[in-house]
Structures are given as structure tokens and as C-alpha cells.
Structure 1
């Protein structure tokens, strides 16, 4: 777990073995049971990814509410926030490659956090995420993002049960699944409370079925000293 300064400087945290090991078999089964083809989603999904509709499952929801996960999200967002979306994603063999990009804040820098919880071991071989640490707050005179410049990227790797959280403005991308090995994960988003009304306007288009009304207060989360 990074300390306060490291988290804000680098813009991400990789929580090793954050998911209890005894949950993993169930989480994989939930993922597989929820897989739906692109045409069964409200909006089309990428053809080279497997997508799973699983946001109402109680164990999935428990992953999104792990104390250390909420602590990092609250520290990055810095105000009351809510869980906006959860979706299962897995790059297919020969798929998953993305160019470097930012997902971009909505109203102010840092008002959204992205999280990835891995249900299988992950590395460059099966399409793991790559990131550019510290890229979420570029200097005012910094050149525009060059999506082809991979010189500062860090390729992540680790074990089932790890959870990655990052500021929505951090430069990142998925990688090509060259091995074809499974790399099931859930992608979930936390948003600052002022974004709640706009979230509701698009929730159905994003396939959100869960109740998103719960609010989390970073002031009471156990981040300090972790």
C-alpha cells in the first residue's frame, strides 16, 4: 500500500492479494455465468473482449467495498463518492490491445477513480494493463499525449486477487493477449458525489443494474497508517 504522498504522486495503487483467496473460485464462476455477447448489451462492446454482466452479485459488490479499496479511492477523490459501475472484462486470445489513453475527469481533476480486480494471474502474456506512473497531472507546458510513446510505460503483472486503482487521468492501456490464457477481471468506477445526477442519466446505457445510491465518506476510511 503506498503512503499518501506516493499515491498522489504516482496516481495509482496496486493492492496485492486484496481479495480473500477463498472468494476467487466463486468470483470466476460468477464472471463466466454473466458473459453476454455484444448484441445483448445496451451499447455494443469490443469484439476482442469477453464482457460479463455481474454487478448485482453480492460477492462482486463485496470486492468493491473492501476497506483498503475504498480507502484508496477516497484518498484519490478527496470528497464523498459513490460506486458507479461494475463490469466483467477479459481480453480474448489475440485481442485486448489498446493505445495509451486517459479516461478523463468530468468536472475537476481527480473526480473519478478506475479499479481493476483480477480473478486470474496477469502479465504481458495475457493482456495485463500497462500504465505511466505520475502521468495524471501533466505540467501546464507538457506536450500533448503521444499515444505511440511507450518509453515511460510500466507493464503490470501479478496474481489473482490483486486490485489496481488509479486516477481516471492516469495514462494507461490494455495489452494484447498473446498467450490466450484467461485474464478475468472486473472493471469498476468510483465517482465524486457531484457527478451523481449525470451518472443516473446514462446508467441504463452502460448496463448498470445495481443500486448506486450508497455514499462513501473518505474522512472516515482507514487509509492513514496503512
Structure 2
């Protein structure tokens, strides 16, 4: 996979030293201005006709939807951060959209990977891209920095706060890469508007995924051979 990542322009020097230390020590890093306003509008416009209903809206298989979602994952700096966590042998496992409506959210969940395998051997991570401003009121994701390294970490019960938790807040277009072994959960949306976000999962190829490893022919043709090999 080294050649694939090289072809996609993935280099270690695309990440700032602070981002590297945050990935290692905190378990996540941030990308400001990850999406331009036009890209945000295009993504929301593509999602709107697909997402009727109430409660927390969820769409899967965005990888197959079309080029509008490609900039949310096919980015050299993001892929460099994924490689830093997982090593070069990784693949994208799924891209989903979630919108927590007012008074919904707050699901309690441990890290996506229950076992703590240790640095350089992490198995999964998730990119979170904010399509609207993430605020303390509208259900931003909460994390406990460093919990991926704490083998004795005890998560808070039910919906209670953890004294060391941090909220992932930022303007629309901000992205975070989160080590999925880090403890994290949603918070309740206390605002009057839905919180729109896209989540892209990455996993080491040695793991199991449960997803069809071959995307649709149209996606292969659109993305090219290097990006296809990451799928």
C-alpha cells in the first residue's frame, strides 16, 4: 500500500507536529477549514432528498453516492493521519451521515474497538466532518482525551459527564480524526436545529469489517485505481 498512498500524495510532512502529538497523546486531532463552504453546501444538498424522517437521521453507503462526498475522505492530509495511527495497510470501511435532531442523541458508547491494542497497533479510527457548526448545545461528540492509553479507564455511567471529557466543537467544515479506541459518545442536541455530520471509518486490513470489499463499478471508475485499492 506504500505505492498507493504515494500516488495519492500522502506524506508524513503534511501533518503539523502538534497534530502528530495529539494523535498519540490525546487520541484525536483536528483539521480546520477541511471543507470549503461550497463543498459543505454540495454535501448537504445531496443529503437532503435522501434523509426524511424524525429522530437521529442516518444514511449509509455514501461512498457509492457520487463525487460530492469524495473530498470528505480522499484527502492526503487526512490519509496521512490515518496512516500514522493504523500503519500503511488500511482501508476505508464505511461512510455514514448522521444528523442528531433537537432533543435526540446522547447515546453512550465505549470506544468502537473494545480491546486496547496499544500504540502502532491501533485497528480502527474515524473521521468526523462537521457540516454545520458543532457547538456545546447541538450534540457535539464528546471524548475523554488519553483514554485510549488508559487500560484502567472507567467510563461514566449512563449520560453523566466525565471530569476529563472534551467536546469536539468547531465551525462547519472542521474535521477530526478520532482513534476509535478512545472513549467517546454523542451528546444530546439541546438546540433548535439538526446537527449534520459525516463519519468515515478506517480499519487495518488485518481486521474484519463485514463490509463488501468491492465498491460499485461506477465508484471505481470515478475514483481511479489508487483510491479503489483503499476501498
TM over 0.5: yes
Asked if the contact 1:115–1:165 (Cα under 8 Å) also holds between the matched residues in 2, the reply is yes
Helix, strand or coil at the partner of 2:195: coil
* Aligned CA-pair RMSD: 2.5
Structure 2 unmatched ranges of 5 or more: 1-15, 221-226
Find 1:122's aligned residue among 117, 126, 134.
134
Q: 1:101 offset after TM fit, Å?
A: 2.0
Aligned residues: 198
- CA distance in 1 between partners of 2:153 and 2:171 (Å): 35
Asked if the contact 1:103–1:169 (Cα under 8 Å) also holds between the matched residues in 2, the reply is yes
TM-score (norm 2): 0.76
Aligned residue number for residue 10 of structure 2: none
1:1-226 to structure 2, matched below 5 A, reads 1=16, 2-35=18-51, 48-53=55-60, 54-56=62-64, 57-99=66-108, 101-104=110-113, 108-109=117-118, 110-139=122-151, 142=152, 144-147=154-157, 148=160, 150-195=162-207, 198-199=208-209, 202-203=210-211, 213-215=228-230
Q: 1:34 offset after TM fit, Å?
A: 2.3
Q: 1:100 offset after TM fit, Å?
A: 5.1
Structure 1 unmatched ranges of 5 or more: 38-46, 217-226
- CA distance in 2 between partners of 1:8 and 1:115 (Å): 16
Q: 1:215 offset after TM fit, Å?
A: 2.8
